[in-house]
């Protein structure tokens, strides 16, 4: 079986069967606490009754009709999502990379309609924007670039937090500056409010679209609907995806003001995007997010988790970073060792960058599950520090 898959993932070997909230069960019945949420996708956890019911009901009614037609769930989602985020218009697609592609195409059309050479997109070093040729080009990490050239022209990388450097790069040929408010795959590295506000101001003055990739940080992950709200900036365009439909593939490009009506019929499209099934799932996620206290609880749970990990004062831990339930633990060893050791203690975690253990629990995780997971993490850190070479490398 295994050799029938292309060899693209360093998988764990676990075969998962079902889940309840923040707990996952393998086919042979072993239970795990889930601090991964399918890489920030399962925002409402596993087996959420309202989500399951909405998907089943919609599947029985209508699943897909193409974008030549509308369905009620997609109309309602366009309304609720723009309302919840304060944007004017939305384009639905199927993934994070596709949302970023849409954002870049929008920015290039916007720029080139002002000046044919205004097509350069500035992104950040250590960023991650996806796996298509263009989004991998936008990704400011060399390790994603080998093998896949030639790359899409017109991408330039800035050093995060270097305001003077960004100032020098944002010339008349730039149509967009795109950033993750917290760099996810690059190591859970938050950008500062001062840097983002300076970048926003420069973009406004130079008629450059200020574009957020909130594919990972969006949809409640950081304790706000979008992380940019917490950082005091208002992007012209924002891409979201991962958590939006709680596990059903979806992506969205949100735009406001001068960016809202750039596309005209024929400019851009997708076969599956905004289908009734994904839209009905996303409507449940948004309605849960908007229930009283939900986002505050995400923030409180995140703070509690961070405080517990900081409280270890563990010799392997360098620092704990993050916002809401997007948390990075900087460690002094290969983070894969900690992830493997945690799995042995029935806790699922992720890595990010070269030195970070990343935690992205379902937003509905309970305080009790957080405490159980953190206890397992402590044991994993102890295991690795007492016998660093006994822990198997991730295969």
Ligand X SMILES: *Cc1c(COP(=O)(O)O)cnc(C)c1O
Is residue 42 near ligand X by the rule CB under 6 A? no
Q: In the complex, which residue's CB is closest to ligand X?
A: 96
Give me the phi and psi of 350, to 5 degrees please: -125, 170
In eight-state DSSP terms, residue 115 is -
The nearest distance, CB 217 to ligand X, in angstroms, is: 7
Is residue 187 near ligand X by the rule CB under 6 A? no
Give me the phi and psi of 200, to 5 degrees please: -60, -45
Per-position b or e across 216-245, b if 16+ CB within 10 A of its CB? bbbbbbbbbbbbbbbbebbbbbbbbbbbbb
The nearest distance, CB 37 to ligand X, in angstroms, is: 12
Distance (Å, whole) CA 142 – CA 147 = 11
Is residue 241 near ligand X by the rule CB under 6 A? yes
Helix (H, G, I), strand (E, B) or coil at 347: strand
Between residues 217 and 280, which has the closer beta carbon with respect to ligand X? 217
Between residues 110 and 128, which has the closer beta carbon with respect to ligand X? 128
Distance (Å, whole) CA 132 – CA 136 = 6
Among 34, 101, 200, 213, binds ligand X (CB under 6 A): 213
Cβ 257 vs Cβ 110: under 8 Å = no
Residues annotated in a binding site for pyridoxal 5'-phosphate: 96-97, 128, 213-216, 271
β-partners of residue 328 are 321, 358
Is residue 273 near ligand X by the rule CB under 6 A? no
Residues 106-135 that bind ligand X (CB under 6 A): 128-130
The nearest distance, CB 137 to ligand X, in angstroms, is: 13
Is residue 200 near ligand X by the rule CB under 6 A? no
Among 85, 216, 349, 351, binds ligand X (CB under 6 A): 216
The nearest distance, CB 345 to ligand X, in angstroms, is: 26
Is residue 356 near ligand X by the rule CB under 6 A? no
Cα–Cα–Cα angle for 285, 291, 296, rounded to 5 degrees: 100
Between residues 87 and 128, which has the closer beta carbon with respect to ligand X? 128
DSSP 154-214: -EEEE-TT-HHHHHHH--TTEEEEEE-SEETTTTSEEPPHHHHHHHHHHHHHTT-EEEEE-
Among 19, 21, 181, 184, binds ligand X (CB under 6 A): 184
The nearest distance, CB 116 to ligand X, in angstroms, is: 29
Residues 366-395 that bind ligand X (CB under 6 A): none
The nearest distance, CB 243 to ligand X, in angstroms, is: 10
Distance (Å, whole) CA 133 – CA 120 = 16
Distance (Å, whole) CA 67 – CA 90 = 14
Between residues 91 and 337, which has the closer beta carbon with respect to ligand X? 91
Q: Are strands 120-124 and 174-179 parallel, antiparallel or unpaired?
A: parallel
Between residues 199 and 376, which has the closer beta carbon with respect to ligand X? 199
Q: Which stretch binds ligand X (CB under 6 A): 158-166, 179-187, 253-261, 326-334?
A: 179-187
Residues annotated in a binding site for N(2)-acetyl-L-ornithine: 131, 270
Residues 84-103 that bind ligand X (CB under 6 A): 95-97, 100
Cβ 155 vs Cβ 190: under 8 Å = no
Between residues 124 and 320, which has the closer beta carbon with respect to ligand X? 124
Cβ 250 vs Cβ 278: under 8 Å = yes
Residues annotated in a binding site: 96-97, 128, 131, 213-216, 270-271
The nearest distance, CB 129 to ligand X, in angstroms, is: 5
Helix (H, G, I), strand (E, B) or coil at 91: strand
- Per CB under 6 A, residues contacting ligand X are 95-97, 100, 128-130, 180, 184-185, 213, 215-216, 241-242
């Amino acid at each position: 079986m295994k050799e029938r898959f292309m060899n693209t993932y360093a998988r764990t070997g676990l075969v998962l069967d079902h889940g309840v909230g923040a707990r996952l069960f393998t086919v042979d019945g072993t239970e795990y606490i889930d601090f991964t949420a399918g890489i920030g996708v399962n925002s409402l956890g596993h087996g959420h009754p309202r989500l399951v019911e909405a998907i089943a009901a919609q599947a029985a009614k209508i699943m897909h009709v193409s974008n030549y037609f509308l369905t009620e769930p997609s109309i309602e989602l366009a309304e609720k999502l723009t309302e919840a985020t304060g944007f004017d218009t939305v384009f639905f697609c199927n993934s994070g990379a596709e949302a970023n592609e849409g954002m870049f195409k929008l920015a290039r059309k916007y720029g080139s309609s002002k000046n044919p050479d205004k097509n350069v997109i500035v992104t950040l070093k250590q960023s991650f924007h996806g796996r298509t040729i263009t989004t991998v080009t936008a990704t400011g990490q060399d390790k994603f670039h080998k093998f896949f050239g030639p790359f899409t022209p017109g991408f330039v990388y800035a050093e995060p937090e270097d305001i003077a450097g960004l100032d020098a790069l944002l010339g008349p040929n730039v149509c967009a500056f795109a950033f993750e408010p917290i760099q996810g795959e690059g190591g859970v590295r938050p950008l500062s409010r001062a840097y983002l506000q300076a970048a926003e101001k420069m973009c406004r003055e130079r008629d450059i679209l200020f574009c957020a990739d909130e594919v990972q940080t969006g949809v409640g992950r950081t304790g706000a609907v979008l992380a940019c709200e917490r950082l005091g900036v208002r992007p012209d365009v924002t891409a979201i995806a991962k958590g939006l439909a709680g596990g059903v593939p979806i992506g969205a490009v949100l735009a406001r003001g001068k960016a809202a009506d750039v596309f005209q019929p024929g400019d851009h499209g997708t076969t599956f995007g905004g289908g009734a099934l994904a839209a009905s799932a996303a409507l449940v996620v948004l309605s849960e997010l908007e229930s009283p206290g939900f986002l505050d609880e995400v923030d409180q749970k995140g703070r509690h988790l961070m405080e517990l990990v900081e409280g270890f004062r563990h010799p392997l831990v360098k620092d704990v970073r993050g916002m809401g339930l997007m948390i990075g633990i900087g460690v002094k060893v290969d983070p894969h060792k900690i992830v493997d050791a945690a799995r042995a203690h029935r806790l699922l975690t992720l890595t990010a960058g070269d030195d970070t253990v990343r935690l992205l629990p379902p937003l509905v995780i309970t305080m009790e599950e957080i405490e159980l997971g953190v206890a397992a993490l402590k044991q994993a850190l102890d295991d690795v520090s007492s016998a660093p070479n006994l822990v198997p490398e991730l295969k």
